Amino acid sequence: MSTMSCLQVLCSELEIPSSSLKLCNRLGSGSHGQTFVVQYNGQLYCAKIYKEILNMAQEVKMLKATESCSYSPNLIGICSSLMLVVMDLAPGQTLQSLLRSRPCKLYIHRVMLALCQAIESLHACQVIHNDLKFDNIMVSEDNWDPRITLIDFGFATFRHNSPYAHISPEVMASYRHVSPKLASGGKCDYNTDNYSFGVLLRAVSSDTKCPLFSVLADILTKKKGVMYSLVKLHAYMKENNCDSCRESCWCAQCISGGVMC
């Protein structure tokens, strides 16, 4: 059975006719295809058009595997004739855009704590994202509580696969957030995502001068994907607010003694 036939069997109840989709605007492009905003049944969604059917089948498989995870987009359907997958349009802005807006330091603590929880939840589904970077993390807000949505599951796999095995060293130079183990064609595990989280923490600590994030980044990256439990790290981050960030923060919430959790 061909890859397309397998995909149609997997998503037989999710097939969407091309005539039901209206292309609105382009969101961006990546290694495996381009993303657009589309209108379907009167609602706006995200649609990804793939270059290769194998990549499409893999991402659909991962989205279905994370259906119980509240931090990934819901799979709405597929359009086989267009090699297109329709999913929820993630709310909010990218983590990169959020940081450019210079938010409150303690709010950044909340965001990184929520991100840690999102990665934990993904791993509970036995799925490794393999491409955790600022532009693949969406942040929305509900009463000062950040809500994380992880997007772009193009490199996501189950454990013990090698998502970057066929990418040239020249191209891999642009994947600085990927652990050296993966970059050399190795197999992924929870620690390869943990490494990427450490890279994110290091970048945030450099911007905010947060000593807590700097220490945690070292823990996660100094051994090229050191064995470390994100569950324990999450608990540690909840219990250890960064006093220097609170004391130097200018916002009214922190000045009045607001807490991180």
pLDDT digits (tens, 9 = 90+) for 175-187: 889 988 888 889 9
Amino acid at residue number 121: S
What topology does CATH give the domain 19-87?
Phosphorylase Kinase; domain 1 (3.30.200)
CB contact burial 200-211 (16+ within 10 A = b; e otherwise):
bbbbbbeebebe
In percent, the amount of the chain with pLDDT more than 90 equals 56
Query: What mean pLDDT comes out for the span 60-86?
Result: 96
Please state, in angstroms and rounded to a whole number, the distance separating the CA atoms of residues 188 and 163. Answer: 8
Rounded to the nearest integer, the mean pLDDT of the chain is: 86
If pLDDT is split at 50, 70 and 90, which confidence band does 231 have?
confident
Domain residue ranges in the chain: 19-87, 93-255
pLDDT surpasses 90 at 105: no
Two tokens, residue 85: 């997958």
Two tokens, residue 224: 């090229």
28 vs 149, more confident: 149
pLDDT surpasses 50 at 221: yes
Least confident range from 92-96, 141-145, 199-203, 225-229: namely 225-229
* N- to C-terminal Cα separation, the chain: 51
Q: Which CATH number fits domain 93-255: 1.10.10.10, 1.10.510.10, 2.60.40.10, 3.40.50.300?
A: 1.10.510.10
Q: Tens of pLDDT along 158-217?
A: 998 999 887 777 777 778 899 888 888 899 999 999 999 999 999 999 888 888 889 889
How far is CA 123 from each of CA 43, 70, 126, 130, 167, rounded to the nearest angstrom? 30, 12, 5, 11, 24
Least confident range from 77-86, 134-143, 176-185, 219-228: namely 219-228
Sign of CA dihedral 181, 185, 188, 194: positive
Residue 186 is given by DSSP the state -
